[in-house]
Chains A and B, each alone.
Chain A
Amino acid sequence: MRIGEIVETMSTGFVAESFELNRPPPLGSLVVVRLPAEAGETSSGMDLYAVVTYGQTVGLDPSRRAVRRSTDTVFDQAIYQEHPELNRTLRTEFGATLVGFFADGQLRQHLPSQPPPLHFSVQSASPEEVQRFTDRLHYLRLLLAPYGQVSPLQVLAANVREVYQQRDYDRVWLDTAAREIATLLKNDHEALLTVLYAIDPGESYDRSGGGEPT
């Protein structure tokens, strides 16, 4: 299912506009850009994988800022009913860091040689794709330099939580990922604890809600 269209692109990642206002894909989730096969080449196209590193809703015109619109009787979702122009003057965008690609039957977890083309669609990765991609953990390193304003540690933690859920609470995978992160952040204990607290299944993760503190 297409969830957005790329409006900025570079070698390390891209920014896409969400089709649904106020609903960017979840932080840390895996998204895919599907590239068709090159004309005349034997390869069968390429799927680029990226992890969502931030979402934001801003005015289409950067010089226009949101103003308070709620009243005692009109607030929250009702505001969008009462001010239909908001659907045309706002846009929700999300940024994603490229973490790998699948081409010629091979999964690679490093930056592709080309950034994704502008205006191409972005899709959510299916559970099977998530499973296959996250069997290997090298991509976690790429998340330490994300595209956007959210702290890389929080993005990393969000990704681990998302994948854990999508892999049906695969505890073995979680433990392996935690140890991999401990190795990556070996020189910064505080940063490591920040991530571990955020992915601890006992403390910060509610299986039913997804992301609600228990």
Chain B
Amino acid sequence: MPLELGPISQQVDNMAQTIVDLLPAEEGFLARAQDCLRSADADALRQKLEWQHRQQIRIPWLVATPRLSLSGTVPSPSPPSDFSVVGIDASSIPPDRHSSIRYYVLNVGYALLSYGRQPDAVLEASSQLCFQDEQLYVFPQKRDVPIEGTLLSARMEVESLRVLQKMLRSISRPTVALRDGPLILWTLQNESKEVQHALLHDLLEAMAFLRQTGVPLAGYISYTGSRDVANSLRVWLCQGRPNECERCESDDRDLCLALARIRDRDLFAFLAEGDRSELFGSSSQILEEYGEHRVDFFYMNVGGEIVRVEVPRWVGSDVDLLGFLHAAIYDQCQRSPGFPPYPPALLEAHEQAVITAAERRLVEQMVEQALGQHGQRVVRSAKDDSKRRRGI
């Protein structure tokens, strides 16, 4: 309430002006960047990157390794006559730091949409109250790494795939599995190896099941902010070391610096609708732990925006699976009523997964009541109490 909107409004105006002023210059650099993308030699770049990796030259940004070409495009094939798409999403009620009771709620929503001669839809949610040590801590005996924050997010991804796994036991036609968000759990990067292993174990197991079942899995990232490929172009342009820009005397210095601001979604804006780029490998460290399920990605024009799609290697290297996935995603986006389009399977999965504030309060009440019946009182922190009451 005490936010001073007057001065802020003025500053917003200044900001808008600044952005607009810079646009023409930005557009110029983008064009040059796209030219660069087309003209760069993919093989040479691949070698340069490998060499730097072997030299353990630290590149401070994520780079993408082109699997084939940099600027190649692949049009979308047609999907089969009968097929299904299952979207999954998850949300949670995180553990309440201000409460004396420790628990959290996971809600995985999924939408299985079947098309063709017998169209059908299954929209469900799978909810869980997690309160046991195995669920609350990465290492239940030690109880030193609580599952919360980024670990909880990772837990959610894992849980989604576990639910997906259960559901896929009874499918009867070609199916594609999509989740909203990355398959690369880069948030686990800074955790210890033990934690990473503990959390990734179930994830990789689920992915193995999918591979076995022949269900291609993809992470769908809308409005992607990645710069992997743009960063690779900087490596391409760089004459020295990638992190010594102060000493750079290259002609393309300005382009290189501009590339630092250019996002892949703008870079790949040349993609025609329905087309995808070639596959790229990610340099995210966590992928070391993925093994055969190492995740690659590509960009795709779904008709209104460029999205990033992450796929396990076993999908990327299988022409049929990759083609099916590509076709399914494009088909989904064509069925989307909104603009820019968004896969209905993910939309409905999200609707199933979402937990409203009212539902959240309901769970809290249920917990308090249940404990009360067993003679226990829930104690809240002073801060929490004051936030709830907000007395004057």
A68 adjacent to chain B (CB < 8 Å): yes
Q: What's the nearest-Cβ distance from chain A to residue B273, in Å?
A: 14
Query: Which A residues lie within 8 Å of B335 (CB)?
Result: 82-83
Query: Which B residues lie within 8 Å of A89 (CB)?
Result: 123, 348, 351
A61-B351, A64-B351 given; A85·B121 CB < 8 A: yes
Determine if A88 and B121 form an interchain contact, defined as CB atoms under 8 angstroms apart.
Answer: yes
Rounded to whole angstroms, the CA-CA distance of A89 and B121 in the bound complex is 10
Rounded to whole angstroms, the CA-CA distance of A69 and B341 in the bound complex is 12
Query: Which A residues lie within 8 Å of B111 (CB)?
Result: 85
Determine if B115 and A67 form an interchain contact, defined as CB atoms under 8 angstroms apart.
Answer: no
**Most chain B beta-carbon contacts within 10 A, residue among A68, A82, A84:** A84
8 Å CB interface, B7-57 against A: none
Interface size class of A (residues with CB under 8 A): 10 to 19
Rounded to whole angstroms, the CA-CA distance of A85 and B86 in the bound complex is 11
A43 adjacent to chain B (CB < 8 Å): no
Rounded to whole angstroms, the CA-CA distance of A67 and B337 in the bound complex is 6
A61-B351, A82-B115 given; A88·B337 CB < 8 A: no
A81 adjacent to chain B (CB < 8 Å): yes
Determine if B119 and A81 form an interchain contact, defined as CB atoms under 8 angstroms apart.
Answer: yes
Contact with B along A51-84 (1 / 0, CB 8 A): 0000000000100100111000000000011111
Rounded to whole angstroms, the CA-CA distance of A82 and B113 in the bound complex is 10
Rounded to whole angstroms, the CA-CA distance of A81 and B113 in the bound complex is 11
A87 adjacent to chain B (CB < 8 Å): yes
B214 adjacent to chain A (CB < 8 Å): no
Rounded to whole angstroms, the CA-CA distance of A187 and B342 in the bound complex is 57
Determine if A84 and B337 form an interchain contact, defined as CB atoms under 8 angstroms apart.
Answer: no
- Count of chain A to chain B residue pairs whose CB atoms are closer than 8 Å in the complex: 35
Q: What's the nearest-Cβ distance from chain A to residue B342, in Å?
A: 12
B120 adjacent to chain A (CB < 8 Å): yes
Determine if A84 and B115 form an interchain contact, defined as CB atoms under 8 angstroms apart.
Answer: yes
Determine if A84 and B351 form an interchain contact, defined as CB atoms under 8 angstroms apart.
Answer: no
B219 adjacent to chain A (CB < 8 Å): no
Query: Which B residues lie within 8 Å of A80 (CB)?
Result: 119
**Most chain B beta-carbon contacts within 10 A, residue among A69, A80, A87, A89:** A89
Query: Which A residues lie within 8 Å of B122 (CB)?
Result: 88
B344 adjacent to chain A (CB < 8 Å): yes
Query: Which A residues lie within 8 Å of B149 (CB)?
Result: none
**Chain A, Cβ-Cβ closest to B331:** A82
Q: What's the nearest-Cβ distance from chain B to residue A150, in Å?
A: 28
8 Å CB interface, B99-115 against A: 111, 113-115
**Chain B, Cβ-Cβ closest to A66:** B337
Q: What's the nearest-Cβ distance from chain A to residue B15, in Å?
A: 32
**Chain B, Cβ-Cβ closest to A59:** B351
Q: Which of B119, B338, B345 contacts A67 (CB 8 A)?
A: B338
Determine if A84 and B121 form an interchain contact, defined as CB atoms under 8 angstroms apart.
Answer: yes
Q: What's the nearest-Cβ distance from chain B to residue A127, in Å?
A: 36
Contact with A along B116-133 (1 / 0, CB 8 A): 000111110000000000
Determine if A68 and B337 form an interchain contact, defined as CB atoms under 8 angstroms apart.
Answer: yes
What are 7 pairs between A and B in contact, CB < 8 Å? A81-B119, A82-B335, A83-B344, A84-B113, A84-B114, A85-B123, A89-B123
B residues apposed to A, CB below 8 Å: 111, 113-115, 119-123, 335, 337-338, 344-345, 348, 351
A residues apposed to B, CB below 8 Å: 61, 64, 67-69, 80-89
